[in-house]
Structure 1
Amino acid sequence: RNGPGHLFTDQTFENVEFRAFVRVNERGNSGMYFRTVPRPEDPDTWPLGYEAQVDNHDPRNFTGCIYDKAWPGHNEEPITRDEAWFDYRVRAVGSRVQTWINGVPMVDTDLNDFQTGHLAFQTHHRGNEIMYRDLQIRVLDEQGEPVGEDAPVVPATRANEASR
């Protein structure tokens, strides 16, 4: 495809913690969506929900931010670099949303717009190369405690083909 693409999980989540090792090419742009659903009127465009941004060059919405919703108070520029793997962790329990990059806290905020939805992994534009590895997903209860044993990776569905 010549535009955006998203890979959605089959399962929906309310309280969840997930992490992945992520790498983008130069000028790459991606995101790890959570509590998200495809737009009913146009499922091939940007989904509804929250996006944990992956972008090393956007001065406002850089890696670790929740796109257009929350930004770190202590970082004024990205701490990730093109072509380098980094550990990205996202936790959503109730309205509290947190992100970490390589173990460094980035965002800790309250967001109430979306309480449940899929996880989705984005490629933003043509020529964008994004890699995810070692994906871990853990379902949490209302107090943020794991439900059962560590959750295995949840199967994904190809909602629309990713561009490259």
Structure 2
Amino acid sequence: MKYLIFAFLFSTGFFYAQGSKSLFNGKDLSGWTKHGTEYWYVDSGELVCESGPEKKYGYLSTNKPYKNFILDLDFKLEANGNSGIFIRSHVGGKDGTTIRGWQVEVAPPDLHTGGIYESTEGGRGWIIKPDPKDEKNLNPDGWNHMRIEAKGDKIVTWLNGKQMVELTDDKIGEGRGSIALQIHSGGGIKVRWKNINIQELK
């Protein structure tokens, strides 16, 4: 029943910030840059990331950097859904897929969706994970809604309307860069995305 309620709220736009703009046009990857050999494509108006033959990490980053914002998007895990949403990130390095930034986790059940992981040189790894009871808020078989609010040194994440974590961190506060979607290494991964909207904050 709760997932039916969430579906209704999605359709009415309840979860989306007022004054937001779309980052994905539902037709192509305009406004984004692909990093790596994994697959990123549009299918039925949805953005899809899928493991390629090399089974490596892959990223799709916004061409524009974002510092302070509210990001809303929907995702659906297909196959192994190990993925993530990086904020204030930079992708490059010799292989073109080395990332620096902070990841809001998107993953299969009980693998800390909504938690924050640091991927930087000398990074701290997991900074904060959701309470185990809140991890049950993930719908493993259908669409989920993620909201990320980043303002200064404070980051808050919500999954399907439930706050997952709240973090104040000086290092994150100093960061600046793109929003990037991730596909994890290892192969067998497929995730769908849609309704990617952002409201920039002062």
- Common fold, TM-score beyond 0.5? yes
Task: Name the residue aligned to 1:65.
Answer: 115
Task: Name the residue aligned to 2:101.
Answer: 49
Task: Name the residue aligned to 2:180.
Answer: 120
- Residue identity matched to 2:180: A
More helix by share: 2
2-structure distance, mates of 1:83, 1:27: 11
Task: Quote how far apart the aligned CAs of 1:93 are.
Answer: 0.3
Pair 32,18 (structure 1): closer, same or farther in 2 beyond 3 Å: same
2-structure distance, mates of 1:40, 1:111: 26
Q: Percent identity?
A: 26
Deviates more, 1:101-110 or 1:32-41: 32-41
Superimposed CA distance per residue, residues 88-135 of structure 1 (whole angstroms, 9 cap, x where no aligned partner)? 000110000000001100111112224211000111132211111000
More strand by share: 2
2-structure distance, mates of 1:100, 1:77: 11
Structure showing greater Rg: 2
2-structure distance, mates of 1:122, 1:6: 5
1:105 aligns with 2:157: no
Number of residue pairs aligned between Structure 1 and Structure 2: 138
Higher relative contact order (Cα pairs below 8 Å, separated by 6+ residues): 1
Matches within 5 A, 1:119-138: 119-125=179-185, 126-138=187-199
Structure 1 residue runs of 4 or more that deviate by more than 6 Å after TM superposition: none
1-structure distance, mates of 2:134, 2:73: 23
Matching residue within 58, 65, 69 for 1:5: 58
The alignment partner of 1:11 has SS state of coil
2-structure distance, mates of 1:116, 1:75: 32
The alignment partner of 1:107 has SS state of strand
Asked whether the 8 Å contact 1:13–1:116 carries over to 2, the reply is yes
Matching residue within 53, 73, 76 for 1:20: 73
Asked whether the 8 Å contact 2:154–2:169 carries over to 1, the reply is yes
- Residue identity matched to 1:49: G
1-structure distance, mates of 2:100, 2:146: 21
The alignment partner of 1:72 has SS state of coil
Task: Name the residue aligned to 1:83.
Answer: 141
1:140 aligns with 2:140: no
TM-score normalised by length of structure 2: 0.63
Asked whether the 8 Å contact 2:134–2:164 carries over to 1, the reply is no
1-structure distance, mates of 2:131, 2:67: 26
